[in-house]
């Protein structure tokens, strides 16, 4: 199977079927999928430019792509990418217990029942 067919098989078709689920209950899964696809894009894009895909370069590229400053890009990377892709939810605290702030918003505290 070529790379385009694999991409369709792994991502396009499953994400298409998620649309059938009512009330936007799949948005979190779609976001998580978008995050790891975006990270894959960052690595491929930087490599195509002859740049090593270090954490710092990826964060700078995020800042460039979304037209935000490096602090916001760093916080986004830490809260969303490191939180969702490593812990299954947005990161809410720094190690040591400080609440995480991103620009002008914070991650919500959602009680577990």
pLDDT digits (tens, 9 = 90+) for 62-78: 999 988 899 888 888 88
The pLDDT score that the predictor gives to residue 94 is 63
Residue 41 lies in a domain: yes
Residue 77 lies in a domain: yes
Residues 81-102 pLDDT 10s? 877 877 777 776 665 655 655 4
38 lies in some domain: yes
Average pLDDT, the chain: 79
| 21, part of any domain | no
Residue-number span of the structural domain to which 41 is assigned:
27-106
The three state secondary structure string of the chain is CCHHHHHHHHHHHHHHHHCCCHHHCCHHHHHHHHHHHHHHHHHHHHHHCCCCCCHHHHHHHHHHHHCCCHHHHHHHHHHHHHHHHHHCCCCCECCCCCECEECCEECCCCCCC
Number of domains in the chain: 1
In a domain, 11, yes or no: no
> Does residue 37 form part of some domain?
yes
Q: Are 62 and 42 in contact (CB under 8 A)?
A: yes
Indicate whether this model's pTM tops 0.75. Answer: no
Q: Classify residue 52 by its DSSP letter.
A: -
Q: Indicate the burial class of 113 (C-beta count within 10 angstroms; 0-12, 13-18, 19 or more).
A: exposed
In this structure, is residue 84 part of a structural domain? Answer: yes
48 falls within a domain: yes
């Amino acid at each position: 199977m070529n790379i385009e067919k694999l991409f369709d098989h792994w991502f396009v078709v499953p994400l298409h079927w998620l649309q059938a689920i009512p009330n936007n209950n799949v948005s979190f899964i779609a976001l998580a999928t978008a995050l790891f696809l975006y990270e894959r894009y960052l690595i491929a894009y930087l490599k195509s430019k002859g740049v090593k895909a270090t954490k710092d370069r990826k964060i700078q590229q995020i800042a460039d792509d979304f037209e935000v400053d490096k602090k916001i890009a760093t916080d986004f990377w830490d809260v969303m990418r490191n939180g969702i892709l490593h812990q299954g939810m947005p990161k809410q605290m720094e190690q040591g217990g400080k609440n995480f702030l991103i620009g002008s918003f914070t991650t919500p505290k959602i009680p577990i029942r």
